[in-house]
Structure formats: C-alpha cells, structure tokens
C-alpha cells in the first residue's frame, strides 16, 4: 500500500480528549477516531492491527479444536427473561422495540443465544464435547466509557463456549482454553498475569482473569515479581507470595481475558439437556471464555511504546515493513523504493511505502509514531553507496547492506519469526 492512497491521519499534537498513553497514541497515529463517547471508528491502520489480532486468536482457537460461528447481535429480550439475567443486565443492555412490537436487545454477551442454539441439536452424550467460538461486536451501555478502546459501548469480543457431559470434560476444555489464552496474549506482545477471580454476573464456580499490568489499569492486583504469581488486592493475606514467599508488589492492571467454568447455570434454566450412557437426562456442563479483542490493542500499546510512539509487537504490526524514500523528487530514490516494494510484496511481506512529498523529519516522526516493525530508509546514503538501510523500530538498531542482501534478509522475516538481533 502507498501512504498517499490509504488514510492515515496522524496528529502532531495530542487531542485533549485523550488521557491514557494508549488512547493518545491510538489517536495520534491515526488508528481510530471517536464518533461519540465509547464509540470508535477503526481507520486503515487500526483495522489492520485488529485483523492481525483476530488472526492470531483464530489460529489458536482453531488449533485448540474450537469451531468458529457468528451469532446474531440482535436478540429477543425474552431469551434473557428465560435465563433470569434480564434484570442483572439492567441498563447495560441496549433495548428497543421494533416495528412489529417485538422487544429486542443488542447482545451484551452470548451465553443465552448459544445455549438455545446448542440445546436444539444436542441430545446425546455422543455429540459431546463441543467447543464453539465467535469474534463479534458486543453492545453495552456502559455507565462510564473511558480510555478509548479500553471501555467502550461497542466493542469486539472473542467469546468461546464449551459443552461437556461431565466435570472432567469441562476441566479439560477449560485448561485447553487457558493454555490457548497464554499463547494468544504472548503472541500479541502482552506480558500477562493470570489470576483466579470472582465469576460475578456470569455465574459458575471457577474463573480466571488475564490481567495486563498497565499504568492506568482499571483494577489493582498484587503480584510476585519472582514467580509471576498474582493475587487479588482485597485478599487479607500476609502480603507474601504463597508460592515462593517473595515480596508482593501492587500494580494497576487491565483485564483482557476472562474464562469461566459455568457448570449448569445456563443449561439448567434454559433446559439444555442430553441423555448420558445410562439413558438419564442431564444438563450440559458449560464453560465460557472471553477475550476483549479491541482492548488488546490498547493493552499492547500500553506495554509497547516509547516517547516517539507505538512499537508494535511483530505479529500485530499493521505492516511488517515501512519504506521511506526520503526525497520523492529524486527519481533514483523513488525508483529504488518502488523496486524494493515490489520485491518484498512478491515475497509475501506486507509493506507500506511512504510516497508523500514530505521532508525526512516528517517521515521519520510518522514512521516511529506508527510503530511499524521495520523501516527501510532510502535517502542520500543510497545515492552515495547504493546500499539500503534497515532500522528496527523497537531497538533502533540499523543494518546497512546491499539491497539484494537486505531485502532477502527482510523477506525471511515472517510474522512471528522476526530477526531477534534487530
């Protein structure tokens, strides 16, 4: 993609609406724009980051044996009355009446819908276990939306649901998801704490939260720097790590994932039952597993930035390489930029070419701000030596080499397998 053909409205100054680091950088780097409080548009760079994150999630879910579905955002309120969560949700649920007089709501989550769906097709233990997931927009009329994508009224969630015939099956699926979550967050560049939590409105017995330490985080947590164990803050303990007796530290955190052993909370009220091997009717044992997909973007920025801008973890970077021809009025430079662009694209590398007639300083600033993993710089050094310059955004380290070597070097760097020495 050429910079001039896409839409990257970078901001020189910080918009006054922003408070947290991630929101400032999201706005400045032209990833998102606010339509109203808690509601955001994703611009091309933001969309590509979102796509990368959903790709990672999809890969890990599929590898765990989960099958993807897409459930409706429009749901009958009646379904929520059946489950008894109509009142729990209260004002958070966005409700309206359609022209036929049907009471409708915009789904704040999907336990009810999926349970209804599954119950009409599962009747035997032979059909279990079942693991389904979706990546979809949720709607919540939040009391106070804030920090950009961190708490918004319309946001993207990955929600998975497991259906088992017994506790053993649930435990297995639960662990499967827990491990998958660790891989997902790690691939997204997040340093994550996993902590046992209160299931709250979701119900069930056991739940784990995945918390990302972040300066402005909404929750506080005690964690042990020694063994990376984490504990809820309100716990009146001796303030020592129960695992390694290390000193605990307090940190603000942001919740990016939450998994629950629901048990039969939904299946029993919605009559989702199956016949076991002995022919007796039993409620399906369920689990649910959520990830705040859009929230990962904010979390990733909180943990991966410097004073110049974002530093994307390689797998979520909107482009792998940004080519910077420093003087587009020079035909040799622009020709080399276009040639490099072609070579890299042919090798399957995603590339952005900054073809704007801007000065070097502007391009460098925007390049650093955008956080794209690698910059290929083509300027007067190229004119003098014929060599290209490769700069890694994270380390700032530079590699100067003949164009053949340098491009070959870059082509070998697939997402997830980026060169560590840069």
Partner RNA sequence: CGGGGAGUAGCGCAGUUUGGCUAGCGCGUUUGAAUGGGGUUCAAAAGGUCGUGGGUUCGAGUCCCACCUCCCCGACCA
For residue 146, state whether it binds RNA (rule: CB under 7 A): yes
- Are residues 188 and 182 in contact, defined by beta-carbon separation less than 8 angstroms? no
What are the C-alpha distances in Å from 77 to residues 6, 83, 105, 134, 417? 41, 10, 6, 21, 47
- Are residues 111 and 161 in contact, defined by beta-carbon separation less than 8 angstroms? yes
C-beta closer to RNA: residue 11 or 73: 11
Name the helix (H) or strand (E) containing 402.
strand 398-402
C-beta closer to RNA: residue 214 or 272: 214
For residue 295, state whether it binds RNA (rule: CB under 7 A): yes
C-beta closer to RNA: residue 59 or 358: 358
Q: Determine the interface stretch with RNA among 119-127, 215-223, 313-321, 336-344 (rule: CB under 7 A).
A: 215-223
- Number of residues counted as binding RNA (CB under 7 A): 70
Q: How far is the CB of 216 from RNA (least distance, A)?
A: 6
Q: Say how far apart CA 303 and CA 296 lie, in whole Å.
A: 10
> Strand 219-223 to strand 230-232: parallel, antiparallel, or no bridges (unpaired)?
antiparallel
Q: Which of 3, 42, 155, 274 binds RNA (CB under 7 A)?
A: 155
For residue 204, state whether it binds RNA (rule: CB under 7 A): no
For residue 157, state whether it binds RNA (rule: CB under 7 A): yes
Q: How far is the CB of 273 from RNA (least distance, A)?
A: 25
| Site map (CB under 7 A) of RNA, residues 252-291, x = contact | ---xxxx-------------------------------xx
44, with CB counted inside 10 A (0-12, 13-18, 19+), is middle
Q: Say how far apart CA 163 and CA 388 lie, in whole Å.
A: 55
For residue 403, state whether it binds RNA (rule: CB under 7 A): no
Q: How far is the CB of 225 from RNA (least distance, A)?
A: 23
| Tokens coding 40 | 């955001």
Q: Which of 59, 166, 171, 358 binds RNA (CB under 7 A)?
A: 358
Q: Say how far apart CA 302 and CA 305 lie, in whole Å.
A: 7
Q: Say how far apart CA 215 and CA 352 lie, in whole Å.
A: 31
For residue 53, state whether it binds RNA (rule: CB under 7 A): no
192, with CB counted inside 10 A (0-12, 13-18, 19+), is buried
Touching RNA, residues 101-120 (CB under 7 A):
109
Q: What is the DSSP string of 283-311?
A: EPEEEEEEEEHHHHHHHHHHHSEETTEE-
- Which residues are at the interface with RNA (CB under 7 A)? 10-17, 19-20, 34, 36-38, 92, 109, 140, 142-147, 149-152, 155, 157, 200-202, 210, 216, 218-219, 255-258, 290-292, 294-295, 308, 326-329, 357-362, 364-369, 377-382, 389, 391
């Amino acid at each position: 993609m050429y910079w001039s053909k896409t839409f990257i409205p970078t901001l020189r100054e910080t918009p006054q609406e922003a408070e947290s680091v991630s929101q400032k950088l999201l706005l400045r780097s032209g990833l998102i724009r606010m339509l109203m409080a808690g509601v955001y548009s994703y611009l091309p760079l933001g969309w590509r980051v979102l796509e990368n994150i959903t790709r990672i999630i999809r890969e890990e879910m599929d590898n765990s044996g989960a099958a993807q579905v897409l459930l409706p955002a429009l749901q009958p309120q009646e379904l929520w009355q059946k489950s008894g969560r109509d009142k729990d949700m209260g004002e958070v649920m966005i409700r309206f009446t359609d022209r036929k007089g049907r009471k409708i709501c915009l789904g704040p989550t999907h336990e009810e819908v999926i349970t209804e769906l599954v119950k009409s097709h599962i009747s035997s233990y032979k059909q279990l276990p079942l693991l389904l997931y979706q990546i979809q927009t949720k709607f919540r009329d939040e009391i106070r939306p804030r920090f950009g994508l961190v708490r918004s009224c319309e946001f993207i969630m990955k929600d998975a649901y497991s259906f088992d015939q017994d506790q053993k099956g649930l435990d297995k699926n639960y662990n499967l998801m827990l491990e998958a979550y660790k891989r997902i967050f790690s691939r997204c560049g997040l340093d994550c704490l996993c902590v046992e939590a209160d299931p709250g409105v979701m119900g069930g017995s056991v739940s784990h939260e995945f918390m990302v330490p972040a300066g402005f985080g909404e929750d506080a947590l005690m964690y042990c720097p020694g063994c990376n164990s984490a504990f809820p803050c309100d716990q009146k303990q001796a303030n020592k790590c129960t695992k390694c007796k290390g000193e605990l530290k307090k940190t603000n955190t942001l919740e990016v994932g939450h998994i629950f052993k629901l048990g039969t909370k939904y299946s029993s009220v919605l009559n989702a039952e199956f016949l076991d091997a002995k022919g007796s009717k039993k409620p399906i044992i369920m689990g649910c597993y959520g990830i705040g997909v859009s929230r990962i973007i904010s979390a990733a920025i909180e943990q991966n930035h410097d004073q110049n801008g974002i530093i994307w973890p390689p797998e979520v970077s909107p482009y792998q390489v940004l080519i910077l021809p420093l003087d587009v009025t020079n035909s040799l430079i622009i020709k080399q930029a276009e040639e490099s662009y072609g070579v890299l694209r042919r090798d399957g590398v995603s590339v952005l070419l900054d073809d704007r007639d801007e000065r070097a300083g502007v391009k460098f600033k925007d390049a650093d701000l955008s956080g794209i993993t690698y910059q290929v710089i083509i300027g007067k050094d190229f004119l003098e030596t014929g060599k290209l310059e490769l700069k890694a955004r994270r380390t700032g380290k530079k590699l100067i080499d003949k164009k053949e070597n340098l491009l070959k070097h870059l082509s070998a760097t697939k997402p997830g397998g980026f060169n560590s020495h840069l």
